[in-house]
Amino acid sequence: MKEKISKLHSTTTNYPRKMASDPGEFSRLTVIGTKNARRRRLEIRRLKYTCETMMNVTIADNSNINGDKDKDRLPGSKPSNGATEISLSLSSSPSNQSTSEGNDIVLAGFREKTCKKNDDVRTLACTSHGLLSVIGRRCEMEDAVKVELGFMAKGGEKFDFYGVYDGHGGSRVAEECKERLHKLLVEEIVEDNKEGSGIDWGTTMERCFEKMDEEVNKGRLAEEMVGSTAVVAVVGNGRLVVANCGDSRAVLSRGGVATALSYDHKPDRPEELERVEAAGGRVINWNGYRVLGVLATSRSIGDQYLKPFVICKPEVTVRELTNRDEFVILASDGLWDVISNEVACRVVRRCLNGQIRSNSDVVNQNRAAEAAAVLVELAMSRGSRDNISVIVVELRKT
């Protein structure tokens, strides 16, 4: 057999090289191109099959929640309040890593559900939002997302909280922000309203972020070279409040027009450059503009070793909601590095109108979740190499 193969090889190599005009050569190139295109499609659509599989497994594990809420709950998880949990996750990291490293994918956005968290998987679902958080082409998952519906009630009105945290140097600060920042916000609001006055969102958010920064820099974490950006939104009482610290971003679609609710804190942004240099620091162009040639964002929570050049003070925007407000997108820079505000809003609008459908069938119960999935798929197809986290919040019922 080896001799036959050798003879065949020797005979084929004696033929002259085929020119590009040869139909056989065109056929071979077509096959190669088809294989490459298929490989790219499979890479983008790998979320679909993972999510479908994990959904079936998790639903089976939580099927007895309504019967005995505490007995069948996963260790360390919160009570489900009678809601069915739907968890979708992918684990490809060693088991001794933190939660954010073990759960590479989080998908949510199903009707009539509430937000939950388990120690083993991250579970989210609700009526008016959808989210997707993926590891993308990174080796480690450093993003974290948080949705807490009805996290606060004031004057008979409930407020919802949405947050996207993009960690760097590790995931610990992002995970701590996910667990603590919305709780600190409630504490600040209660403290600020002892006399029954209205909420000063600017001052309240600044104090909240400052306390969060103190906790991660001086508390039990105390990791000097770990930090996280944060973009959070509070919806309630006819208002939309956005606070941003870092290069994640919030974008509002109002009357079909994309409106940025936050502006990235990049070191080369003129006012940020002036502030860093006034504090005695420098911005160096080292594979992009970076504070001291290290960090590509000029504001973050944590990063004690870069104080006072990198600060945790957020920029806060308060908008009165109108019937022209359609939805808001919160996302990490893994999305915004490759997709503009206008394109993102156009895609989400078409998803909400049913004109675009995601490749993932598991999200077809909620168009906001489909919109988040489509944005992630689009970002990956455009070459994003970062973790990608997206939350789409519908601001009016259709």
Give the number of other CB atoms < 10 A from CB of residue 31. Answer: 10
In this prediction, the residues of the chain whose per-residue pLDDT falls under 50 are 1-2, 4-20, 47-127, 362-364, 398
pLDDT digits (tens, 9 = 90+) for 109-160: 333 333 333 333 233 333 479 999 999 999 999 999 999 999 998 878 899 9
- 348 in a structural domain: yes
Euclidean distance between CA atoms 262 and 369, whole angstroms: 22
Q: What is the pLDDT of residue 218?
A: 82
pTM value is 0.71
Look at the block and give the residue holding tokens 């970062």: 386
Q: In Å, how far from its chain's centre is CA 296?
A: 18
Q: Cα 176 to the chain's mean position, in Å?
A: 15
Query: What is residue 29's predicted lDDT score, i.e. its pLDDT?
Result: 64
DSSP category for residue 113: -
Q: Is residue 94 situated within a structural domain?
A: no
Going by C-alpha positions, the residue among 83, 82, 103 that lies closest to residue 93 is 103
Is residue 235 situated within a structural domain?
yes
| Cα-based distances in Å from 80 to 108, 131, 192, 368 | 16, 20, 31, 23
Count up the domains in the chain and report the number. 1
CA R_g for the chain:
24
Helix (H), strand (E) at residue 53: helix 23-61
**Per-residue model confidence (pLDDT) at position 128:** 78
User: How high is the pLDDT of residue 104?
Assistant: 41
* CA atoms of 258 and 58, how far apart (whole Å): 37
User: Given this model, what pLDDT does residue 55 score?
Assistant: 31
How much is the pLDDT for 243? Answer: 98
Question: Does a structural domain hold residue 363?
Answer: yes
CATH number (domain holding residue 371): 3.60.40.10
Residue showing tokens 């050798």: 6
Question: What pLDDT is attached to residue 35?
Answer: 66
CA nearest 381: which of 89, 52, 106, 43?
Answer: 43
Give the domain range for residue 289: 140-394
